[in-house]
Amino acid sequence: SQKIEQNSEALNIQEGKTATLTCNYTNYSPAYLQWYRQDPGRGPVFLLLIRENEKEKRKERLKVTFDTTLKQSLFHITASQPADSATYLCAPRMDSSYKLIFGSGTRLLVRP
C-alpha cells in the first residue's frame, strides 16, 4: 500500500540554524509534492510545490528538494526564526486522481 512518512518526533533547533524536515513515500511515483505549514488552531497553509522533473525549488528562506530515486523530499528552512515554529506537512500526489493526502507532519520548534 502507499505510505507517506514524516518524522513524528519534533525537531528542536536553535534560532539561526537550518531546519531540515524529511518526507518519504512508498509504492508510487508522484508527479508533484506539496509542503504545507500548520499553526495550532488553524488550517494548513500552502508553502511550496515541486514537480518530479525539478530537483530543487526555493522561496525566500525555504528550499525543497525532490529525489524520485530515493522517494524522498527534503524541506529546508535556512536562518530559522522562532516564528518558523509550526507543524510542516508534506502531500505527494499519490495517484492519478486529484485527491490530496497528507503525511502526519513534523513539528518544528525554533528556540530563541
Partner 1 sequence: DAGVIQSPRHEVTEMGQEVTLRCKPISGHDYLFWYRQTMMRGLELLIYFNNNVPIDDSGMPEDRFSAKMPNASFSTLKIQPSEPRDSAVYFCASRRGQGAKNTEAFFGQGTRLTVV
Residues lying near partner 1 in the complex (CB under 8 A): 32, 34, 41-46, 49, 89, 93, 97-105
Q: How far is the CB of 93 from partner 1 (least distance, A)?
A: 8
Give 77 or 90: the residue with its C-beta nearer to partner 1.
90
Give 80 or 106: the residue with its C-beta nearer to partner 1.
106
Give 36 or 80: the residue with its C-beta nearer to partner 1.
36
Contact between 54 and 63 under an 8 Å Cβ cutoff? The reply is: no
Closest CA to 35 of 85, 93, 75, 82: 75
For residue 84 the three cell numbers come to 518558523
* Residue type (1 letter), 98: Y
Q: How far is the CB of 65 from partner 1 (least distance, A)?
A: 19
Closest CA to 53 of 30, 37, 74, 75: 30
CA distance from start to end of the chain: 41
Q: How far is the CB of 15 from partner 1 (least distance, A)?
A: 27
Give 63 or 93: the residue with its C-beta nearer to partner 1.
93
Q: How far is the CB of 73 from partner 1 (least distance, A)?
A: 15
Contact between 54 and 31 under an 8 Å Cβ cutoff? The reply is: no
